[in-house]
Structure 1
Amino acid sequence: MNALSRPVVEELGAVFDELELRTEIGVAILTGGGGKAFVAGADIKGFKDIIGHRGVVFEGARGMQDCFSKIENSRLVVIAAINGLALGGGCELAAACDIRIAADNVIIGVPEVKLGLIPGAGGTQRLARLLGKGRAKWMVLSGDFFSARDAFQMGLLEKVVPAADLLAEAKKLAGSILANAPLAVEAGKRAINEGVEMSLEDGLVFEAGLVADLFMTEDIKEGAGAFVEKRFPVFRRR
C-alpha cells in the first residue's frame, strides 16, 4: 500500500538529491506504484516500537519534514499525479508538491487524529497555507476522508481527471512547463514559494530582483529573439 516507512522516506530524499544535480531534468512527476494508493501513510504496525520514545518520534517527524521540504524547495517543478489513496503522509506529500492532479476515484485525508495523533510531516502547516485555517482544521480535526471532487472544491487539488487519463494529463502539463525557459520556471517557483512568506512589499522587491536577474541571462536574449523572428526558442538554461 506504499506506506511511508523510514527507508522509503530516505530513498525519496536521496532521489531528489540526485535530481537536483541533473540540470537537464526540469519536472518530476510523483505517482504511486500498484494503482491502489498514491501513498497510504505511515507504517502503523511499527508504532508499537516507538510509543514512549519521544526523541525517536521527534527525529522521525523531522526526517519526513526535511524530505518533504526538499521536494517543496526543489529546483524542479514537482507534479503529484495522485492515483489512489492519499492518506496521512500521502496527503502531506501531495501538499509539498507544486501542482496536484488526481484521478476521480481518489480518496484523500489526514486521519491521524483517529489514532490519537496529528499530521507530523508538515500537514498542519502546509494545509493551513494551501486551504486557509478553517478548511485545514476541518481536515485535521475531523480526520474525515474526502473525495477527489471535494478536495478540488476545497482547493487542495488543481485538477481532477478520469483515472485512465491521469498520467497523460500530468505529462501534458510537464511538457507545457518544459517548453519554457528553465531559469524562468525556477525563478517563478521561487517567487511564489518564498514571496508568500514575506510582506507584500518585500515580496514585490524579491520579484523585481528575480526579473532583473533573468534579464542577465542568455535565455532572455533567445526568448525575445525567437519571438521577434517568429520561431521556437531554444533555451539552454544559462
Structure 2
Amino acid sequence: MEPVLSVEKRDGITWIVLNRPRVLNALSRALRRELVEAFQRFDADPDSGVAILTGAGRAFCVGLDLKELSEATGRETKEAVSQADVVATMEHCRKPIIGAINGYAITGGFELALACDILIASTEARFADTHARVGIMPGWGLSQKLARLIGIYRAKELSLTGNFLDAETALAWGLVNRVVPPTELLATCERLARDILSCDQQLVRAYKRLIDTGFALTYAEGRALETETSRIFARELTPERVAERRQAVQERGRSQVGQGPARSQSPGQDVG
C-alpha cells in the first residue's frame, strides 16, 4: 500500500505531498494524523527552514473524507468534524509554509490552503467552500479567515453558494500570491523557498510570528506589538551581526544583476 503522505527533505526545504490522488487527496483520519506529525517534525528540524505543501494528481485536497465519515460511528464523526489539529499545527509552525495549489482545494482542503503562509496557484487550481452543501459547519477557521482575506461580501458569495472560484479570479481577489502554468508550479515555489532561506532565519521566524499575531489585533495594537518586538531585537543586535547581514545583502544583489525588475535589488538598500 502506498503511503498517504510523502515527505522529502532537500537542501533545507521539506516537501510535503498529499498522496491519495484516487480520492482527490481527501483527508482521512490517517492522512490528518500524518500531516500533524509531518509539520511537527518540520518545525523541530534545525536543518529545514521552509515547507512546500502540495497534492498528488489533479487535486490539492478536497477536504474531509466523506466516505470514511459516512461509515464511522457517531463519536468518530463528531471528532473528525470538530478536530482542528492539522490547521492548528500549521498555524503554530514557526517556519514558513508555501502552498502549491495544483488543482481542487475544496472545503477542508480550502482551509488547509489558507493555513499556508504563501499561496502559489496553478492555472488549474479551483477553490470552493462547500460546507453549506454537505451540512458541516467549518471548524478550521474558514468562516473568519476568508472574509478577512477577500472581504465579507465575496466570502459570503463563496460560502453561501458553494460555487467554484477559478485561479485567475482568486488572484484578482487577493486570495493567492500568483498564478503560474502547471509545469512551473513547483519550480516557482522552490525559488520562493530559496529566497526565504537566503534571509536571516531567526528574523524570518520572528517576522512571521509578528505578522500572524498582529493580523488578529487592531491596527493600534499591532503597531504597539511591532514596536515592542523591534526593541527586543534591537537590544540583541551587534555590529558584527549587522556587518554579516550587510554582506549577505550585497552578495545577493550582485548575483541578481541583469535578472529583471522582479529579481533586482530593492530601492534604497545598501549595495555598497
TM-score range, shorter chain: 0.7 to 0.9
Deviation by residue 1:75-116 (Cα, 9 ceiling, x = unmatched): 110000011111111111001111100100111111232223
Change (3 A) 1:230 1:102: closer
**Mapped partners of 2:32, 2:71: distance in 1:** 18
- Out of 26, 51, 69, the residue aligned to residue 47 of structure 1 is 69
Note if 1:59 corresponds to 2:79: yes
Note if 1:115 corresponds to 2:113: no
Shift of 1:41: 1.7
Q: After superposition, where does 1:27-176 map in structure 2 within 5 Å? A: 27-33=50-56, 35-50=57-72, 53=74, 56-63=76-83, 65-176=84-195
Range that drifts further, 86-95 or 206-215: 206-215
Change (3 A) 1:221 1:210: farther
**Mapped partners of 1:177, 1:219: distance in 2:** 22
Shift of 1:56: 4.0
AA paired with 1:3? A
Shift of 1:137: 1.1
Alignment check: 8 A CA contact 1:110 1:144 kept: yes
**Mapped partners of 1:161, 1:232: distance in 2:** 28
Instruction: State how many pairs are aligned.
Output: 229
AA paired with 1:18? R
Residue of structure 1 in register with 2:36 after alignment: 13
Gaps spanning 5+ residues in structure 1: where?
A: 234-238
Residue of structure 1 in register with 2:27 after alignment: 4
Shift of 1:19: 1.2
- TM-score, with length taken from structure 2: 0.77
AA paired with 2:35? L
Deviation by residue 1:206-234 (Cα, 9 ceiling, x = unmatched): 1122222323446874244452798549x
Gaps spanning 5+ residues in structure 2: where?
A: 1-23, 253-272
Change (3 A) 1:226 1:29: closer
**Mapped partners of 2:249, 2:106: distance in 1:** 48
Residue of structure 2 in register with 1:192 after alignment: 211
Q: Tell me, what secondary structure is at the counterpart of 1:31?
A: strand
Alignment check: 8 A CA contact 2:126 2:164 kept: yes
Alignment check: 8 A CA contact 1:80 1:101 kept: yes
AA paired with 1:22? D
Change (3 A) 1:226 1:49: closer
Change (3 A) 1:36 1:204: same
Change (3 A) 1:125 1:50: farther
Alignment check: 8 A CA contact 2:69 2:77 kept: no
Residue of structure 1 in register with 2:10 after alignment: none
- Out of 209, 226, 231, the residue aligned to residue 207 of structure 1 is 226
Higher RCO, Cα 8 Å, sep 6+? 1
The share of aligned pairs that are identical, in percent, is 35
Change (3 A) 1:229 1:194: closer
Range that drifts further, 163-172 or 150-159: 150-159
Change (3 A) 1:8 1:201: same
- TM-score, with length taken from structure 1: 0.87
Change (3 A) 1:231 1:153: closer
